[in-house]
A and B are shown apart, each in its own frame.
Chain A
Amino acid sequence: MRSVMKDERAWAVLLLALAAFVPVVAPMLDSPATVALATRIAIYAIAASSLNLLLGGGGLVSFGHAAYYGLGGYVVGILYAHYVSGEAFLGVIPGSNDLLVTLPLAILVGGLGALVIGALSLRTSGVQFIMITLAFAQMLFFLFVSLKAYGGDDGLAIRRVAPVFGLNLRDPATLYWISLGLLAAWLFLMDRVSRSRFGRVLAGIRQGERRMAAIGVRTYPYKLVAFVIAGMGAAMAGALMVNQARFVSPDMMHWTKSGELMVMVILGGLGTLVGPALGAAALVTLEYTLSGLTEHWQFILGPILVLVVLFARGGLMGAVRRIAGMRGRAPDALPAGELPAGRVQPGDRAAPDLPLREGAAPHG
C-alpha cells in the first residue's frame, strides 16, 4: 500500500475513479449545481495541465495560454453560427454543431495557433518571452472583440448541440463524463510525454538550456513541439467549456484568464501530474465558495494567492508529497552550480555554465 501511495499515477487513477461518481452522489446531496461545477473543474484541469507542460515541463513561462483556450472555444462558436445561418465559413467550411467535428477542429486550430505564435515567441527568452506571449494573446483578444460578425464584445451563444453517439450533451452528467474521460486521456498522454525521451529533454532544457545545447541537442524544436501540444490541450478545454457554458466571448482570451490558469498550476504543484488538476479544483471551488460568501471575493482570493506563492512552495502536491513521503523533485532542488531559471540574466552569465562537481572549489 505504501508504495502505491508514493506513485503519483496511482493517485491520478484513484482521483479520477472517485470523480466519476460525482453525478451519482450529487442528487443524493440535493445539490444539482455540483455536476456543472465538477465539469468546469475537469475542463480547467485539462487547460491547466496543458500549461503545466510548458511551465513545469520546459520552464517556459507562457503568459498567453488563454489565447489557445479561447481559439478552441471560438472554433465551436463560429462553426455553430455558420451551422445556424447555413453559410459556409469563408465560403468553404460548412458549419457544424457536432462535437465529433468541432472538437478535433478546435484542437487542430489551437495547435496551428500555437505553432505560429510559438515559432515567433521562442526566439526570445526570459522576461521577453513572458511579454511576447502576452502580446500575442492580447492581439487575438482584440481581434475577436472587433469581429462584429461573431458577436464582438458580447460573444456568441450556442443553443443546440448534436448528440454524440446518441448521448445528449445537454444532460449535465453526460457532458461531465465526457469531460472527465478526456481529462483522463489527457493526463495519460502527459504522463507518457513526461516519461519519454522528449520529456527528459524538455526537463533538461528547464534545468539548463545551454547545457542541453552543449551536449548537442537543438532545443528550439523540442520547445516548439511542447508549445504546440500545450496549445492543442488548451484548445480542447476551450471547446469543451463552450459546450458546457453554451457561450463563447473574448473574455475567454482575456489576460486574467491566462493568469488564472497559471495560478491553478502553481496552486496544485508545478511540474507534477495530478497537481494542475488539484489546482483547478481548488481555485474553482475557492471562487465558488468565496463568491457565495461575498460579492467582493477577489479581495480575499488575492491575498490567498500571495500567501500561497510566498509560503506554500510546491503547492498542494508538495503538501501531499510531504505527508505521503513520496519521492520526487523538491521544487527548490537544483543541480549544483545552477541558478533558478528566472534569475539567470545575460549579465550574470560570466560564471562557468558547466556544472561544477560538488565539493570542488570553483578556482581550485
Chain B
Amino acid sequence: MTPGVALLLEQLLNGVQLGVTLFLLAAGLTLVFGIMGVINLAHGSLYMVGAYAAAVTATATGSPWLALLAGLAAAALVGMVVEFAVLRRLYARDHLDQVLATFGLILFFNEGTVLLFGRQPLFVNVPEGLRGAVRVLPGVDYPVYRLLIIAVGLGVALGLYLLIQKTRIGMLVRAGATHREMVRALGVDIRLLYTLVFGLGALLAGLAGLMAGPILSVQVGMGESILILTFVVVVIGGIGSVRGALFGAVLVGIVDTLLRAYVPGLLRQVMAGSEADALGAGLASMGVYLLMALVLLAKPRGLFPAHA
C-alpha cells in the first residue's frame, strides 16, 4: 500500500474516532432537545466533569476500572442534579431563557473546575494493555486505544438503537419526541422519563469525556469546543433523531479530520509555509460550519428530521 493511501486510511479512522466521540455527546443532546425541547449548553460541562473525575481517579488509584466508574458516576450524578435544580424549571420557557441559564451553568462549572484543579491541564496515560498499535491492514498500523473508542461508540449506537426501538422506555421516548402532550395526557410519568433521559445523556457525555482524556489534555474549556461541534452534528442530523446524530457525527468527524489533515498541505503549494498552516487551520475549522450551513439551506430541518 502506498504511503499516501495509508495516510488517508489512518486519517479516515481518526475521523471515525472523532465522530463516535461526537456521537456520544450528540445522542444525549438530541434526545434532550427532541423530548424536553431544551437547549442545554451545559452538556459540554458534563463531558468535562466525566473527563476530570476519571483523570483524578486514575492518578490517585492507578486503576482504569475505578476511573471509568468514577467518570460515569460523576457525570450522571451532576447531570441529574442539574436537571433537578435548574433545567426542570426551564422546560416551559422559551429557547432564549434556556440558552442563558445554561450559559450561566457553563461559567459556574468552568470556574468551579479551576478552583478545584487549577488551570494546568491534566495528562492521562492510556491504560496499560491498551497501548501500542495493531496492523489493521497491510502497511497501516493504528493505536489500539483509538480502535477501542470506535468499538465502544458503535456499541453504544447499537445499544441505543435496541433501547429506543425495542423497549417500552424507548417507545415512550419516541412518543415523547413526536407528541409530548399526548404522552402526558395518557398518564405517563413524564418527569421521571425526563430525568432518566437526561441522566442517560449525561452518562454518555461523561463516557465521551473520560475516553477522550488520554487523547486530548483534560482542561477547563474542553467542553465548549466540542459542544459547538456537537450542536453542528445535532442540527445536521436532525433534532431529536439518534440515527441522524450517528450519521451527522461520523460525517462531521471525517470532514473535520480530513480538512485539518490536507488543507494546509494544499495551501502550502501556493503560499509560504507558516501562513499556509495558519490559514489552512482556519479554513479547516470553518469547514464543518460551512457544511452545516449548506445542509440547513438545502434541508432546514436536518438530514433525518425526527418529526417527519
Residue numbers of A with Cβ under 8 A of B are: 55, 61, 63, 120, 123-128, 130-132, 134-136, 138-139, 142-143, 145-149, 152, 255-256, 259, 262-263, 266, 270, 296-299, 301-306, 309-310, 340-343, 345-348
Contacts and interface: CB of A to CB of B under 8 A. Distances in A.
A341 B93 CA distance: 9
Contact of A139 (B90, B224, B289): B289
A256 B44 CA distance: 14
Nearest to B91: A343
A309 B289 contact: no
A346 B307 contact: yes
A114 to B, nearest CB: 15
B94 A310 contact: no
B286 interface: yes
Q: DSSP majority for the B interface?
A: helix
A130 B95 contact: yes
A146 B289 contact: no
B283 interface: yes
Contacts of A126: 95
B96 A132 contact: no
A61 B104 CA distance: 17
B275 A148 contact: yes
Nearest to A350: B179
Given A132-B296, A298-B107, A299-B115, 17 more contacts: A120-B297, A126-B95, A128-B239, A131-B234, A131-B292, A132-B292, A142-B282, A147-B282, A152-B278, A263-B103, A298-B111, A302-B105, A302-B107, A305-B101, A306-B86, A309-B100, A341-B95
Contacts of A340: 92-94
Contacts, number: 164
A142 B281 CA distance: 8
A120, A142, A297, most chain B CB atoms within 10 A: A142
Contacts of A301: 104, 107
A210 B289 CA distance: 29
Contacts of A346: 301, 307
A304 B231 CA distance: 25
A132 B107 contact: no
Interface string B149-181: 000000000000000000000000000001111
Contact of A299 (B90, B112, B282): B112
B174 to A, nearest CB: 12
Contact of A135 (B96, B111, B281, B292): B292
B293 A120 contact: yes
Nearest to A304: B104
A78 to B, nearest CB: 16
A305 B86 CA distance: 12
B107 A345 contact: no
A306 B99 contact: no
B279 interface: yes
Contacts of B228: 134, 138, 255
Interface residues of B, number: 59
A348 B101 CA distance: 25
B307 A347 contact: yes
A341 B289 contact: no
Contacts of B114: 296
Interface in B72-110: 86, 89-90, 92-101, 103-110
Nearest to A127: B239
A127 B39 contact: yes
A234 B64 CA distance: 50
Interface string B246-283: 00000000000000000000000000001100111111
Contacts of A135: 232, 289, 292-293
B235 interface: yes
Contacts of B112: 299
A131 B104 contact: no
Most buried by A among B33, B99, B228, B280: B99
B37 A345 contact: yes
A259 B293 contact: no
A187 to B, nearest CB: 22
A128 B302 CA distance: 9
Contacts of A263: 100, 103
13 contacts: A128-B300, A128-B301, A131-B231, A131-B235, A131-B292, A136-B293, A139-B293, A142-B286, A266-B96, A266-B97, A299-B115, A309-B100, A347-B307
